[in-house]
């Protein structure tokens, strides 16, 4: 505590900061370093991909690459964004994979029963919101550790999904199918790429999250919760940490609901075993995106970069034609790499 | 340790004991099962072997118990080990692949080597986790998540992507045999529990682990070798997870690396928490983990007894966890020292009845 | 215009009673705050000062009594409500979010908006204005945690100004500040007072209370003792009212820890450091400590006192110089090896680096002996009981219950338990870093007496304290530190006074420039 006092007791005469060096100072600011690392890795992966997989008439880095990446991973992005809120607040939400399965099944079952599409979509998202609220209540009002509360949420969601059905239910609703396959085409052959509905939804969620987390008092309270004193300081500052803590889980649950919907768009079915381990993918992406699991540090855009890195790794695995289990091992190794990288960065800035 | 201290205020002492609600839940479950299925509580001796539903439950709970014992110590240091399920898969894959390749599976020596090899690999994985956590100072959640993500891939690499099935009577017996009429897994569980409890409570390990979990910096300043102890605890956890994998997989003799131990880390953590140990670290209860493991196994069985679809067991787990957590939540739990600690004046505990559905 | 003390009170608290399970923390306490006045709330640890503050700021619900703000009855349910009524608090341990920026900490809740968005540039500008009023020129976008405690404290005050506080509560604001910083803080406090803010000041430093306060309310054991004008209450009377003891008894305590002034250097030193230093932490230092000697580290906060102590104990690794402990050259010091060798270090930060909150007194005392024995050789219960009983009695630990959780003891008693932990390892040399900070006067005198006693039994003692008077009273020899450098060494004697020490510090200042 006393380790830093002398050099800047009361800095009454500090030279005014030169404007030009501002961005560089920002870049090396300890708060931004993990995210800078993520972006650097992203660039590295792109360069490696570009050098290895580009052919004379086709570049690896292309609109097509990113289009495919987000067609495959938009649901993960939404899950990870919700997770970002929870992790910054110093919590964890293990329920999201279960919620994805439950949402998918609820949607499939309701559509099978002939319920109107708009209602089904809203209900699907509300499934997530409900589970999230339940976790939030347990965490906030019963002071149950987030890990356990969301674990209960996971089992609850999986249990309910199992009750609904243990076989995959295909979604044949025409309206749903047309939403799922709706896309705008860009570019000319051979560089055709698409923007589909899932990508647009994910983008909207992303923008909403940036607004909420970075431009509102609520967002600042989320960071305050992660300061390591369980929101005490935030409370003493007159913010409302209690309600915020609860809302964080509601947001994550809702994102999981939306993610479940996007996953249903992607697979055009509902299945009680889908989304197993998806919470880990989401957490991994958030961590790769520069958030600290201890809370208080992280960015929505960092998470965006994290999901992109995650998707790129899978793409590269695929291109290398590796056996399927190498996927898991490689993601583990990359995760290890990231954790070590962050560790080094943290050590350096001390 | 079950805290039935006969003092004038024994009723309040008992109800405030950290194991009170878990034990109530377990007994309630058993009674409920006994009512629905009258033979449930019977224990018979057939051919000198113990048989019965309760015996089955105890046998099946050993996997949870082994995992939860290691997990309990890890949690006490303020950590968590998410890799135990994957370690189960790795250890079983190693053992069965070795037996399969040796071609002499029916010899006890081969089985022993397979077991030793599997446990060594499990301990190695534990050491890797411990190194990340205590050597490099990485958050336990994320450090052990690496094996959780990669572990099944490693297990698949051992089995070459197949479900390895093989034969070895001696190996199989650790999962389905009997010792003096008692199922072997139960004996293994009892011996391991005794060994862990002894080495934790009769040496200073327990206290030092708790002090690390409560305040690592202060412990370090008091000369506690917090790094080594943390490391040791992860190795123990890995080792026990490896053993759990063998006990779990031995009856079927099939190493299905994709599915063995799936969600086990969460079950183990649940058993620990149901047993009254806080996830924040510090005080821990080994006896509680037995109760926790038994509750989880009973739930699995209760679903069958109540003629419910077997898919619903996750739902019941969720309900029980929620019920126990809420019943034991802060008002009741906060001021109550978690283990063998004399108490201070405390706020009037609000009593909530647990509704154990099932 | 100066507001007289008869102006209408802004806060009136009457008959405040708060009960915790089994304890009546406050019992019918009154407190009146008037605008334009600095009011000191005095009392020993556990007298109920913090509880009183928390009652006023809505952290605790009051069980009986009445709070009137500007003659309106109020019952606050949260700090937010108290803040809306104009009551702001700067807490003992800075209670801001260290992971947020300075601007955020100062402005949150009152940030400049642009529609539904927070306008960050404007918010930062505004924060800078408020900080400038406190003569603080720091980058508002920098992270709060990277600044010193003093700066963080001022940020906290800036925050109070943003919310336009009519009442500002300063809870032990100076406990981590050096002299210049205190002066700076007091200037700000006076400025606020003159602008009509009512200030409630809580501090253990009597000099500061006399320097800044106009009036004081004294509490003892959760009860109201009285309200007095500071100028009319002699110091000795204040102390006796706080302690509830007669004045001559206090004189005896003072006498018990009388200044010792002789050179104790004999034989080989217990510890000798030659050019021991660590980059960015402390410049190379030469130091020797002999048997039976009390060496005081004098210097302001941040002068490197704790940093040096940590190097000696091996809590941090030295990157230059040599350290000899008990005649043996230490290659790589570490807490455990130091402890085994016979060197103990009682840390400065009791909460973070001292106590194991959820363990019992007994286990807390046992920790260091157990650690030096290793995991597998448990200290036999009987042997431990003897040790624990001995120290509970010898150090007068209250309540004398070894099975109580240490977190439930008062600060002074926690400190005594920690001392017991270190003394139980039978050290030949003990480093005491701020052993008397934040504890009540009675316990303080007991600890001072103990230090003298230990030295007279032949133990070497390194004594570190922010209170120069205390260091002067106890030490045989003083090592003077400034800006992470040893700048002098004084052998204590009648001619050494606090001004001599301050001169030593100041003299070196001119060289450095």
- Is the confidence at residue A141, as pLDDT, over 70? yes
Rounded to whole angstroms, how far apart are CA atoms A256 and A248?
12
**Could you give the number of structural domains in chain C?**
4
Mean pLDDT computed over A325-333: 79
Contact A238 C180 (CB under 8 A): no
Q: Write the pLDDT tens digit of every residue in C177-206.
A: 777 788 888 888 898 888 888 999 988 777
For residue A15, the model assigns a pLDDT of: 40
> What tokens does B157 get?
């690499």
> Does residue C347 belong to any structural domain of this protein?
no
Please tell me whether residues C334 and C219 are part of one structural domain. Answer: no
Please tell me whether residues C119 and C186 are part of one structural domain. Answer: no
DSSP type of residue C217: E
Strand C167-171 to strand C198-202: parallel, antiparallel, or no bridges (unpaired)? Answer: parallel
Rounded to whole angstroms, how far apart are CA atoms A221 and C97?
9
Rounded to whole angstroms, how far apart are CA atoms C145 and C486?
27
Residue span of the structural domain in which C225 resides: 1-86+165-244
Q: Which residues of C touch A10 (CB under 8 A)?
A: 135-136, 150-151, 154, 180-181, 184
Domain end call among C144, C163, C182: C163
Mean pLDDT computed over C100-116: 83
Among A225-239, B323-337, C332-346, the minimum mean pLDDT is found in B323-337
For residue B260, the model assigns a pLDDT of: 81
Domain end call among C122, C143, C163: C163
> What tokens does B110 get?
């081969």
Q: Which residues of C touch A217 (CB under 8 A)?
A: 108-109, 111, 118
Q: ipTM > 0.85?
A: no
User: Where are the alpha helices (H) located in C139-264, listed in sequence order?
Assistant: 149-162, 179-194, 206-212, 235-243, 247-256
SS3 state at B290: helix
Nearest Cα of chain B lies from the Cα of A350 at a distance, in angstroms, of 14
Exposed / middle / buried, residue C89 (Cβ in 10 Å: 0-12, 13-18, 19+): buried
Q: Which residues of C touch A17 (CB under 8 A)?
A: 139
> What tokens does A52 get?
């290895």
Domain end call among C163, C192, C220: C163
- Is the confidence at residue A13, as pLDDT, over 80? no
SS3 state at B159: helix
- Is the confidence at residue A65, as pLDDT, over 70? yes
Percent of chain A with pLDDT over 70: 88
CATH of the domain at C190: 3.40.50.300
Which of B148, B153, B273 is closest, CB to CB, to A280? B148
Please tell me whether residues C28 and C82 are part of one structural domain. Answer: yes
- Proportion of chain C in helix, strand, coil states, percent, rounded to 5: 40, 25, 35
Contact A13 C104 (CB under 8 A): no
Q: Which residues of C touch B221 (CB under 8 A)?
A: 313, 315, 335, 345, 347, 353-354
Q: Does A333 touch chain B (CB under 8 A)?
A: yes
Please indicate whether residue B44 or residue B131 has the higher confidence score (pLDDT): B131
Mean pLDDT computed over B42-68: 83
SS3 state at B103: coil
- Is the confidence at residue C138, as pLDDT, over 60? yes
For residue A332, the model assigns a pLDDT of: 82
Please tell me whether residues C305 and C448 are part of one structural domain. Answer: yes
Tell me which range, B117-131, C136-150, C499-513, is most confidently predicted by mean pLDDT: B117-131
> What tokens does C279 get?
């980059």
Residue of B nearest to C367 (CA): B222
Percent of chain C with pLDDT over 90: 5
> Does residue B103 belong to any structural domain of this protein?
yes
Contact partners for chain A, using 3 or more CB pairs closer than 8 A, are B, C
> Does residue B340 belong to any structural domain of this protein?
no
Please tell me whether residues C63 and C179 are part of one structural domain. Answer: yes
Instruction: Give all domains of chain A, ordered by start, each with its CATH number.
Output: 63-348 (1.10.3470)
Please tell me whether residues C2 and C74 are part of one structural domain. Answer: yes
User: Which residue reads 């050179």 in tokens?
Assistant: C263
Please tell me whether residues C187 and C234 are part of one structural domain. Answer: yes
Q: Does A101 touch chain B (CB under 8 A)?
A: no
Please tell me whether residues C421 and C438 are part of one structural domain. Answer: no
For residue C402, the model assigns a pLDDT of: 87
Please tell me whether residues C77 and C24 are part of one structural domain. Answer: yes
pLDDT-based confidence at B71, cuts 50/70/90? very high
User: CB of A280 within 8 A of CB of A93?
Assistant: no
> Does residue B42 belong to any structural domain of this protein?
no
Q: Which residues of B touch C405 (CB under 8 A)?
A: 337, 341, 344
> Does residue C375 belong to any structural domain of this protein?
yes
**Cα torsion B283, B286, B289, B291: sign:** negative
Please tell me whether residues C393 and C436 are part of one structural domain. Answer: no
Which of A153, A163, A294 is closest, CB to CB, to B311? A163
For residue A263, the model assigns a pLDDT of: 92
> Does residue B79 belong to any structural domain of this protein?
yes
Mean pLDDT computed over C363-369: 88
CA torsion, points A305, A311, A313, A315, in degrees to nearest 10? -140
Probe site for chain A from C105, C117, C148, C304 (most A CB atoms < 10 A): C148
> Does residue B334 belong to any structural domain of this protein?
no
User: CB of C204 within 8 A of CB of C172?
Assistant: yes
For residue A83, the model assigns a pLDDT of: 94
Among A44-53, A281-290, B102-111, the minimum mean pLDDT is found in B102-111
Residue of C nearest to B201 (CA): C378
Nearest Cα of chain C lies from the Cα of A2 at a distance, in angstroms, of 5
**CA nearest neighbour of A129 among A262, A251, A272:** A251
SS3 state at C438: coil
Residue of B nearest to C342 (CA): B223
Residue span of the structural domain in which B270 resides: 60-287
> Does residue B45 belong to any structural domain of this protein?
no
Please tell me whether residues C178 and C60 are part of one structural domain. Answer: yes
**CA nearest neighbour of A105 among A257, A282, A251:** A257
> What tokens does C216 get?
């004081």
> Does residue B309 belong to any structural domain of this protein?
no
Please tell me whether residues C419 and C453 are part of one structural domain. Answer: no
**Could you give the number of structural domains in chain B?**
1
pTM of the predicted structure, to 2 decimals: 0.76
């Amino acid at each position: 505590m006393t380790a830093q006092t002398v050099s800047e007791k009361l800095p009454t005469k500090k030279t005014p900061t030169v404007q030009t060096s501002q961005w560089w100072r920002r870049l090396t600011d300890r708060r931004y370093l993990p995210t800078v690392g993520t972006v650097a890795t992203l660039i590295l992966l792109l360069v490696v991909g570009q050098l290895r997989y580009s052919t004379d008439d086709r570049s690896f880095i292309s609109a097509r690459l990113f289009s495919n990446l987000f067609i495959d991973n938009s649901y993960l992005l939404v899950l990870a964004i919700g997770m970002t809120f929870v992790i910054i607040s110093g919590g964890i939400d293990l329920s999201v994979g279960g919620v994805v399965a439950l949402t998918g099944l609820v949607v499939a079952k309701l559509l099978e029963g002939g319920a109107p599409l708009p209602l089904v979509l809203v209900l699907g998202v509300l499934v997530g919101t409900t589970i999230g609220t339940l976790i939030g209540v347990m965490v906030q009002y019963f002071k149950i550790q987030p890990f356990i509360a969301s674990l209960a949420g996971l089992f609850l969601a999986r249990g309910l999904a199992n009750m609904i059905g243990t076989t995959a239910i295909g979604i044949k609703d025409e309206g749903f199918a047309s939403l799922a396959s709706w896309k705008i085409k860009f570019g000319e052959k051979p560089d055709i790429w698409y923007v589909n509905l899932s990508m647009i939804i994910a983008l909207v969620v992303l923008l909403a999250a940036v607004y909420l987390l970075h431009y509102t008092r609520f967002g600042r309270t989320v960071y305050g919760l992660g300061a390591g004193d369980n929101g005490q300081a935030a409370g003493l500052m007159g913010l409302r940490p209690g309600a915020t803590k609860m809302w964080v889980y509601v947001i994550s649950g809702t994102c999981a609901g939306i993610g479940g919907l996007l996953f249903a768009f992607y697979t055009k079915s509902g299945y009680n075993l889908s989304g197993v381990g998806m919470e880990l993918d989401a957490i991994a992406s958030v961590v790769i995106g520069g958030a600290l699991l201890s809370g208080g540090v992280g960015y929505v855009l960092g998470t965006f970069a994290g999901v992109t890195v995650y998707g790129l790794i899978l793409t590269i695995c695929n291109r290398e034609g590796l056996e399927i289990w190498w996927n898991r091992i490689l993601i583990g190794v990359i995760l290890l790499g990231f954790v070590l990288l962050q560790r080094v960065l943290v050590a350096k800035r001390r | 340790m079950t805290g039935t201290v006969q003092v004038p205020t024994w009723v309040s002492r008992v109800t405030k004991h950290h194991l009170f609600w878990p034990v109530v839940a377990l007994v309630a479950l058993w009674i409920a099962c006994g009512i629905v299925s009258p033979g449930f509580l019977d224990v018979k001796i057939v051919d000198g072997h113990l048989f019965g539903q309760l015996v089955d439950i105890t046998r099946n709970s050993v996997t949870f118990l082994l995992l939860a014992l290691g997990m309990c110590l890890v949690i006490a240091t303020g950590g968590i080990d998410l890799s135990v399920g994957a370690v189960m898969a790795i250890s079983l894959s190693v053992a069965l692949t070795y037996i399969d390749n040796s071609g002499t599976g029916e010899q006890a020596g081969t089985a022993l080597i397979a077991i030793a090899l599997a446990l060594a690999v499990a301990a190695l994985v534990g050491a890797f986790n411990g190194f990340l956590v205590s050597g490099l100072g990485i958050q336990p959640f994320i450090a052990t998540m690496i094996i959780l993500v990669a572990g099944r891939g490693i297990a698949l690499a051992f089995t070459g992507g197949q479900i390895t099935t093989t034969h070895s009577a001696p190996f199989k017996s650790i999962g389905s045999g009997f010792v003096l009429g008692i199922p072997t897994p139960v004996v293994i569980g009892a011996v391991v529990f005794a060994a862990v409890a002894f080495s934790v409570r009769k040496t200073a390990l327990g206290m030092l682990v708790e002090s690390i979990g409560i305040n690592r910096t202060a412990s370090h300043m008091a000369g506690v070798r917090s790094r080594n102890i943390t490391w040791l605890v992860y190795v123990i956890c890995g080792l026990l997870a490896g053993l759990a994998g063998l006990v779990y997989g031995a009856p079927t003799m099939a190493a299905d690396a994709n599915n063995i131990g799936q969600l086990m880390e969460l079950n183990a953590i649940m058993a620990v928490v149901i047993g009254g140990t806080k996830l924040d670290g510090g005080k821990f209860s080994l006896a509680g983990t037995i109760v926790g493991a038994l509750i989880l196994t009973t739930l699995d069985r209760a679903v069958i007894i109540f003629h419910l679809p077997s898919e619903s067991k996750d739902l019941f787990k969720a309900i029980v966890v929620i019920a126990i957590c809420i019943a034991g939540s802060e008002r009741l739990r906060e001021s109550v020292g978690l283990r063998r600690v004399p108490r201070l004046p405390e706020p009037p505990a609000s009593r909530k009845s647990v509704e154990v559905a099932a | 215009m100066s507001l007289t003390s008869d102006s209408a009170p802004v806060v009136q608290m009457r008959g405040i009673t708060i009960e915790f399970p089994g304890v009546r923390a406050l019992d019918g306490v009154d407190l009146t705050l008037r605008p334009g006045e600095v009011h000191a709330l005095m009392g020993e640890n556990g007298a109920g000062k913090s509880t009183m503050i928390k009652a006023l700021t809505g952290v605790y619900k009051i069980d009986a009594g009445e709070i009137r703000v500007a003659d309106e009855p109020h019952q606050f349910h949260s700090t937010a409500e108290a803040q809306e009524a104009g009551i702001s608090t700067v807490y003992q341990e800075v209670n801001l979010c260290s992971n947020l920026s300075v601007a955020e900490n100062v402005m949150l809740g009152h940030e400049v908006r642009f529609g539904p968005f927070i306008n960050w540039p404007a918010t930062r500008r505004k924060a800078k204005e408020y900080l400038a009023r406190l003569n603080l020129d720091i980058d508002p976008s920098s992270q709060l945690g990277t600044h010193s405690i003093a700066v963080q404290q001022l940020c906290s005050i800036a925050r109070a100004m943003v919310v336009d506080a009519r009442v500002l509560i300063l809870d032990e604001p100076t406990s981590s500040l050096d002299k210049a910083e205190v002066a700076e803080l007091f200037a700000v406090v006076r400025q606020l007072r003159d602008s009509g803010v009512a200030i409630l000041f809580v501090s253990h430093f009597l000099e500061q209370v006399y320097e800044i306060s106009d009036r004081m309310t004294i509490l003892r054991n959760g009860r109201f003792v009285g309200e007095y004008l500071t100028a009319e209450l002699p110091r000795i009377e204040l102390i006796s009212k706080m302690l509830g003891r007669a004045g001559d008894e206090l004189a005896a305590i003072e006498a018990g820890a009388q200044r010792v002034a002789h050179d104790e250097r004999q034989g080989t030193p217990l510890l000798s450091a030659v050019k021991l230093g660590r980059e960015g932490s402390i410049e190379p230092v030469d130091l020797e400590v002999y048997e039976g000697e009390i060496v005081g580290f004098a210097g302001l906060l941040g002068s490197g006192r704790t940093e040096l102590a940590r190097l000696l104990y091996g809590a941090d690794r030295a990157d230059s110089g040599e350290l000899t402990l008990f005649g043996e050259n230490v290659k790589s010091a570490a807490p455990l090896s130091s402890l085994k060798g016979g060197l103990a270090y009682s840390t400065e930060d009791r909460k973070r680096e001292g106590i194991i909150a959820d363990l019992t007194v007994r286990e807390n005392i046992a920790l260091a002996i157990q650690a030096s024995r290793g995991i597998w050789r448990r200290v036999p219960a009987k042997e431990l009981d003897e040790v624990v009983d001995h120290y509970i009695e010898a150090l007068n630990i209250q309540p004398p219950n070894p099975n109580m959780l240490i977190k439930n003891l008062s600060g002074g008693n926690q400190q005594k338990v920690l001392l017991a932990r270190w003394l139980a390892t039978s050290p030949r040399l003990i480093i005491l870093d701020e052993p008397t900070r934040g504890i009540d006067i009675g316990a303080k005198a007991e600890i001072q007496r103990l230090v003298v006693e230990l030295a007279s039994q032949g133990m070497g003692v390194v004594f570190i304290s922010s209170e120069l008077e205390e260091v002067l009273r106890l030490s045989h020899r003083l090592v003077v530190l400034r800006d992470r450098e040893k700048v002098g060494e004084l052998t204590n004697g009648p001619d050494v006074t606090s001004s001599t020490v301050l001169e030593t510090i100041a003299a070196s200042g001119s060289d450095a420039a």
